[in-house]
Structure 1
Amino acid sequence: MNIPAKCLSGISMLLLLTSPASALEYKLAQPEQSVVTFGFTLMGAPLEGTFRKFATELYFDPAKLAKAQARIEVNVASIDTGSNEGNEEVVGKKWFNAKDYPTATFVSTGLKALGGNRYQATGKLSIKGKTLDVAAPVTFQSEGTRGTFDGTFSIKRLDYMIGEGEWTDVSSVANEVQIKFHVVVNASPARK
């Protein structure tokens, strides 16, 4: 079978653009399409909230996992718990103390492939002056030059002194908080 060179060239270009191993670096975060949310339990009722302002810096090339990097910096005063009263309370000194600690930061320390589009991200999470190790399962999906990272992990709020004084009572506000993130990125051609 004889396939014209022009067709082979077109097929090669199509495979290059659609292959997950194509030479693309995902590093241009799209904050208006990304979101950081959290789930918590108040008086036995599950609730959700979000952080409206955060900045993301990352580098991800599926072919160069050892070079993967991520930094997410959340403006804690941008919290939305679903009520104005709740928002005012949690930025105060007993909770996030946004005046003295305006940001919560995650900095990656590693990324391990788990197969398919699944990864295990490890890193340091700093909240209210305390830094602890965290690990999060992450999925990565790509379509053309657009990629999305989705992950979930849990923290214990008292480990970071979030909720001091009377708020250390975990029967009113549970200690476990689930953090979810959806980060949208655009890719550029990989550097050689």
Structure 2
Amino acid sequence: MKKLFLFLIAATFSVAAFAQTKWTTDPMHSFVNFSVKHSGISLVNGSFKKFNGEFTSDKADFTDAKVSFTVEVASVSTSVEMRDNHLKTDDFFNAEKYPKMTFESTSMKKLKGNEYELNGKLTIRDVTKDVTFKVTYGGEVKDQRGNVKVGFAATTTINRLDYNIKYDPTGTGVAKDVDITLNLQFVKSK
């Protein structure tokens, strides 16, 4: 009887693990962008060129999704080399000491239609804060090679001062609020 019980427990965990679907970012069709107000009159747009994300989910509507995302800070690009180099210093990201930004989800809630709310922990430099992304599910397709892909757009706004990015603390030259936009395509693991 004891062996049967242990077998049933092992089978239950095996089925649960097997049912979980893993998705990874398709870097050729994904973008991590940001914009911040400059001198109170215009926007500076930028992006990060190197990142890696994945999520797992058992449910078809992704409400149980567990999302993990990493961005390489040194890959920042604003199309101005001098500014990019400044962003990598301790005035901003300190890419040498803190080479990665990370996000780990805590919940994914469906609001209505294709709209979701993704909550999690965002770490920049040595600070981790709760953050909420507004997420729009773009749909699912199968490509010509038979790969299943899904698309999401996610947006949020953070206060850079909350993450020990103390350059221009008044926000006069570089605003405190930074808008983050992720346009992501994920590929289903086979």
For the criterion TM > 0.5, the same-fold answer is yes
Structure-2 separation of matches of 1:161 and 1:171:
17
Alignment root-mean-square deviation, CA: 1.9
Show the counterpart of 1:135.
132
Show the counterpart of 1:185.
186
Alignment coverage as a number of residue pairs = 165
Q: How big is each residue's C-alpha offset from its partner over 1:105-133, in whole Å with a ceiling of 9 and x where there is no partner?
A: 11100000111111100000000110000
TM-superposed CA distance for 1:65, in Å, is: 4.1
Q: Does 1:122 align with 2:122?
A: no
Q: Does 1:46 align with 2:47?
A: no
TM-superposed CA distance for 1:136, in Å, is: 0.8
Show the counterpart of 2:12.
none
SS in 2 for 1:178: strand
Q: Does 1:106 align with 2:103?
A: yes
Show the counterpart of 1:86.
83
Letter in 2 for 1:98: A
TM-score by length of 2: 0.80
Tell me the percent identity. Answer: 34
TM-superposed CA distance for 1:188, in Å, is: 5.0
Contact 2:151 2:184 in 1 (8 A): yes
TM-superposed CA distance for 1:64, in Å, is: 6.3
1:52-71 maps to which residues of 2 (within 5 A)? 52-63=49-60, 65=62, 67-71=64-68
| 1:153 maps to which of 132, 152, 156 | 156
Consecutive unaligned residues of structure 1, counting only runs of 5 or more, are: 1-22
TM-superposed CA distance for 1:26, in Å, is: 5.7
Segments ≥4 residues shifted beyond 3 Å: 23-26, 60-67
| 1:73 maps to which of 60, 70, 74 | 70
Contact 2:20 2:56 in 1 (8 A): no
Letter in 2 for 1:169: T
Show the counterpart of 1:14.
none
Show the counterpart of 1:7.
none
Show the counterpart of 1:175.
176
